[in-house]
């Protein structure tokens, strides 16, 4: 009986943690944010990209544009290099690969959002310009 109670409690806690974090923006590390960004593009999943977008960004139009131009099998990323910047809260991720079979290079900007890492997409909701992405 005790084992059943422990098992049920464990499932309840795990479910609660999952539900609490699935709507949390960003990823735990810059590398995880870039990996999720590329995976979301491959899946053409706007909801996953919305969860990666910095909460202070109005990212809807840019997400749609990125899915249209980069989504599905069109983009193949062969390397992603996380580069430091002058701010510990901002990183630049250099992506290289192919887009529709031609060479592709882009910079994706990452910023901290709370204690996680988000992709900067779309204009700031507060008028602060974002770093320019390719």
CA torsion angle for 10, 11, 16, 18 (degrees, to 10)? 110
pLDDT at 125 (0 to 100)? 74
CA torsion angle for 126, 27, 20, 23 (degrees, to 10)? 50
Q: Summarize pLDDT for 23-62 with one digit per residue, the tens.
A: 689 999 999 999 999 999 999 999 999 999 999 888 999 9
The reported pTM is 0.76
Task: For 2-122, list the strands marked E by DSSP.
Answer: 75-84, 90-99, 102-113, 116-119
Q: Summarize pLDDT for 68-112 with one digit per residue, the tens.
A: 999 999 999 999 999 988 889 999 999 999 999 999 999 999 999
- Confidence category of residue 11, pLDDT binned at 50, 70, 90: very low
Q: Which domains does the chain have, with CATH numbers?
A: 26-119 (3.10.450.50)
């Amino acid at each position: 009986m005790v084992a059943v109670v422990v098992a049920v409690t464990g499932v309840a806690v795990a479910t609660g943690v999952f539900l609490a974090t699935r709507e949390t923006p960003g990823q735990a590390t810059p590398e995880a944010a870039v990996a999720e960004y590329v995976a979301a593009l491959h899946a053409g999943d706007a909801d996953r990209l919305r969860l990666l977008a910095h909460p202070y960004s109005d990212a809807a139009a840019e997400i749609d544009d990125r899915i249209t131009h980069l989504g599905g099998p069109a983009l193949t990323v062969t390397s992603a290099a996380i580069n430091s910047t002058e701010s510990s809260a901002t990183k630049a991720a250099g992506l290289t690969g192919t887009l529709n079979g031609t060479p592709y290079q882009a910079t994706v900007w990452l910023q901290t959002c709370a204690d996680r890492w988000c992709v900067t997409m779309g204009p700031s909701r507060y008028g602060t310009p974002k770093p320019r992405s390719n």
